[in-house]
Amino acid sequence: MSSPVTRPLRFLRRTLGPLVEPAVFDFWSRELGSTASRSRIQARVVAKRAESARAVTLELQPNRRFEGFLPGQHVNITVEIDGRRVTRSYSLTGVPREDDRLSLTVQQVEGGLVSGHLYTDCRVGDVVELGAAFGEMTLPEILPFKLLLLAAGSGVTPLMSLVRELAQRGMPVDTTLVYWARHRADLCFVPELKALAAREPKFNLRFALTGDAVTGTDELRGRPSRELLADVAPDLSERAVYACGPAGFVAEVELLARTQARSFQSEAFTPPVFAPVESQSEVTLMLAKSNRVVRVASGQPLLAALEAQGIKPPSGCRMGICNTCACGKRDGLTRNLKNGGENAEPESNLRICISSAQSDLTLDL
Amino acid sequence: MNTPDRKLSPAEIESFGAELDALRARIVADLGEKDAKYIKNIVRTVRYTEVAGRGLLYAGMFPPAFVLGSVLLGFSKIVENMELGHNVMHAQYDWMNDPELNGQTYEWDTSCTSDNWRKTHNYEHHTYTNVMGKDHDIGYGVLRLYPEQKWEPRFLANPVMALILMTFFQHLLALQSLELERIVGAKSKEQRKTELARVKKDIKPIWKKMRKQLFKDYVFFPALAGPFFPIVFAGNVAANLMRNLWSSAVIYCGHFTEDAEVFPIESLENETRGHWYLRQMRGSSNFTGTKLMHIMSGNLSHQIEHHLFPDIPGRRYAEMSVEVRRICEKYGQHYNSAPMAKQFLGVWKRIFRGALPNKPTRFKAAPAANVERAEELVAA
Quickly count: other Cβ atoms within 10 Å of residue B5's Cβ: 18
B35 has a chain A CB within 8 A of its CB:
yes
Identify from B87, B109, B123 which residue to disrupt to test chain A contact, counting A C-beta atoms within 10 A and taking the largest count: B123
CATH topology assigned to domain A282-363: Ubiquitin-like (UB roll) (3.10.20)
Query: What ranges do the domains of chain A cover?
Result: 15-130, 149-268, 282-363
Residue of A nearest to B306 (CA): A321
How far apart CA B160 and CA B325 sit, in angstroms, is 36
Q: Show Cβ contacts of residue A323 under 8 Å, excluding neighbours closer than 6 positions.
A: A316, A349, A351, B90, B91, B94, B103, B104, B118, B122, B311
Query: Can A15-130 and A282-363 be said to share one CATH topology?
Result: no
* Tens of each residue's pLDDT in chain B, 380 residues: 456 788 999 999 999 999 999 999 999 999 999 999 999 999 999 999 999 999 999 999 999 999 999 999 999 999 999 999 999 999 999 999 999 999 999 999 999 999 999 999 999 999 999 999 999 999 998 999 999 999 999 999 999 999 999 999 999 999 998 988 888 888 899 999 999 999 999 999 999 999 999 999 999 999 999 999 999 999 999 999 999 999 999 999 999 999 999 999 999 998 999 999 999 999 999 999 999 999 999 999 999 999 999 999 999 999 999 999 999 999 999 999 999 999 999 999 999 999 999 887 777 655 444 444 444 433 33
Q: What is the pLDDT of residue B376?
A: 40
* Contact across the interface for B36 and A323, Cβ inside 8 Å: no
Task: Could you please state the CATH topology (level 3) that the domain comprising A149-268 is classified under.
Answer: Rossmann fold (3.40.50)
B224 vs A78: CA distance, rounded Å: 39
The runs of H, that is alpha helices, within A206-338 are 226-232, 247-257, 302-308
pLDDT of A181 strictly over 80: yes
Whether A174 has its CB under 8 Å from any CB of chain B: the answer is no
Buried b (16+ CB within 10 A) or exposed e, A276-313: ebeeeeebebbbeeeeeebebbbbebbbebbeeeebeb
Cβ distance A120 to A65 under 8 Å? no
pLDDT score of B96 = 94
Distance CA A73, CA A92 (A): 6
Q: How far is CA A239 from the centre of its chain?
A: 26
Which of A82, A321, A338 is the closest to B32 by Cβ? A82
Q: What angle do CA B276, B278, B279 make, to 5 degrees?
A: 65
Cβ count within 10 A of residue B189: 7
pLDDT at residue A52, as a whole number: 94
Q: Which pLDDT belongs to residue A291?
A: 86
From chain A, the residues in CB contact with B126 under 8 A are: 317, 321-322
Q: How confident is the model at residue B301, as a pLDDT?
A: 97
At A287, is the secondary structure helix, strand, or coil? strand
Give yes or no for a contact between A68 and A135, defined as CB atoms under 8 angstroms apart.
no
Nearest-by-CA chain A residue for B122: A322
CA distance A108 to A56: 8
Residue range A114-130: average pLDDT?
A: 96
- Under the phi-then-psi rule, with left for phi > 0, alpha for psi from -120 to 50, and beta for the rest, what region is A291? left
Given B28, B35, B126, which is nearest A321 (Cβ)? B126
CATH topology of domain A15-130: Elongation Factor Tu (Ef-tu); domain 3 (2.40.30)
Helices B340-355, B158-167: axis angle to 10 degrees equals 130
Cα–Cα nearest to A87, from B148, B141, B105, B98: B98
Q: Which residues of A touch B90 (CB under 8 A)?
A: 323
Kindly compute the dihedral angle of the four CA atoms of residues B367, B369, B375, B378, in this order, to the nearest 10 degrees. 10
- Closest residue by Cα to residue A60 from A130, A107, A143, A8: A130
- Please state, as a whole number, how many other Cβ atoms lie within 10 Å of the Cβ of residue B261: 20
Residue A2: the pLDDT is 45
Instruction: Search chain B and give the residue with CA nearest A26.
Output: B100
The 10s digit of each residue's pLDDT in A10-33 is: 777 777 766 788 899 999 999 999
The answer to whether A80 faces chain B, any CB pair under 8 Å, is yes
The answer to whether A150 and A178 are in contact (CB under 8 A) is yes
For A204, counting Cβ atoms within 10 Å of its Cβ (0-12 exposed, 13-18 middle, 19+ buried), the class is middle
The whole-number pLDDT of residue A318 equals: 87
